[in-house]
């Protein structure tokens, strides 16, 4: 039995998007609401933290340590889990400390996390240095990688696919934002566990296709060892589309703005400017290009992140 602690509000809803489906004239669209997992405004990392926190407790950890961008949803949810289960929390965030905290950084502060600001190029080096310092000082740190994307965290989405299947809606495609690779690796592991016949498509928000596919393949291999399943990762199709990375990570352009406005105004559904906004922009363009059959049923897996809507410069850009 793989250790797991209940944190998320599961199962998350699977909701139809009839107005958006009709407006786009494409496949039947649904949304899997992992923005409603319940931990400090939710998100996909909460599922991963059910396994990661259990492992941290088993290791006798006292401090959770992780890293991400300034508006990291993963860091916000890690800080919330730390508060809920009595850990200290240290976050290594890339960028300059803002004059005014907003969005996820405000929530990090409210949740009691210690924040260390570094240049992006020095993030990994600083993460390891802080880990060593915490260990030497007796704080028994547990290091959670960027995005919670190690084999332990990825397992959460193998079980998430099982959850989706039990919601009894025939599905042809699952589409979502892919970056650190853990969510996609987990979903593909779920395909192996369930023999589900649909397609898993990750829209890269920042990484080149080849790099992201290799990262996902490594996670599939290590995850299958934990599951003790014979899973041939080398022959597993990994569908990644890197056509929508735009100006780079966290840089919101017109496609993301259009997607955020369309989902909000057609379905009352809020996306974030970095991950779900970019993946939804890719989904919309693929529909317009005829990538999916009109008779397909496509699930957009909402991975959360809405607090970033209220951070500068996104808040100002979305009002223009």
Q: Which helix (H) or strand (E) holds 116?
A: strand 114-118
Is 222 among the catalytic positions? no
Residues 1 and 201: their CA atoms lie apart, in Å, by 29
The single residue of 21, 22, 72, 235 carrying the catalytic annotation is 72
Beta-strand relationship, 297-302 and 173-178: parallel
Residue with tokens 């059910």: 50
55-86 burial code (b ≥16 CB/10 A, e <16):
bbeeeebebbbbbbbbbbbbbbbbbbbbbeee
What lies within 8 Å, CB to CB, of 38 at 6+ separation is 7, 8, 9, 46
Sign of the dihedral defined by the CA atoms of residues 278, 281, 286, 292, in that order: positive
Q: Is there a contact between 170 and 197 (Cβ–Cβ < 8 Å)?
A: no
Query: In 3-state terms, what secondary structure has residue 237?
Result: coil
Catalytic residue numbers?
72
């Amino acid at each position: 039995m793989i250790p797991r602690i209940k944190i998320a509000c599961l199962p998350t809803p699977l909701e139809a998007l009839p107005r958006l489906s009709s407006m786009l004239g494409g496949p039947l669209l649904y949304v899997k609401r992992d923005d409603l997992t319940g931990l400090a405004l939710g998100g996909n990392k909460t599922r991963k933290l059910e396994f990661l926190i259990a492992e941290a407790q088993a290791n006798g950890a006292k401090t959770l340590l992780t890293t991400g961008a300034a508006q990291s949803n993963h860091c916000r949810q890690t800080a919330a889990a730390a508060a809920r289960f009595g850990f200290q929390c240290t976050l290594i965030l890339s960028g300059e400390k803002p004059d005014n905290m907003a969005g996820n950084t405000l929530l990090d502060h409210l949740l009691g996390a210690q924040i260390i600001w570094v240049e992006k190029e020095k993030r990994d080096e600083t993460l390891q240095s802080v880990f060593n310092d915490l260990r030497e000082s007796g704080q028994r740190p547990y290091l959670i990688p960027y995005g919670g994307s190690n084999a332990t965290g990825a397992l959460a989405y193998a079980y998430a696919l099982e959850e989706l299947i039990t919601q009894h809606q025939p599905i042809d495609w699952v589409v979502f934002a892919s970056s650190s690779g853990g969510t996609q690796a987990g979903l593909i592991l779920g395909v192996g566990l369930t023999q589900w016949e649909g397609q898993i498509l990750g829209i890269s928000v920042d990484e080149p296709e080849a790099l992201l596919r290799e990262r996902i393949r490594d996670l599939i291999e290590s995850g299958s060892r934990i599951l003790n399943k014979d899973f041939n990762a080398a022959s597993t199709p990994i569908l990644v589309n890197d056509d929508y990375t735009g100006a780079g990570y966290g840089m919101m352009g017109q496609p993301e703005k259009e997607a955020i406005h369309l989902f909000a105004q057609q379905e009352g559904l809020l996306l974030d400017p970095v991950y779900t906004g970019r993946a939804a922009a890719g989904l919309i363009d693929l529909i317009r290009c005829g990538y999916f059959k009109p008779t397909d049923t496509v699930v957009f897996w909402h991975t959360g992140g809405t607090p970033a809507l209220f951070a500068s410069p996104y808040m100002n850009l979305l009002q223009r």
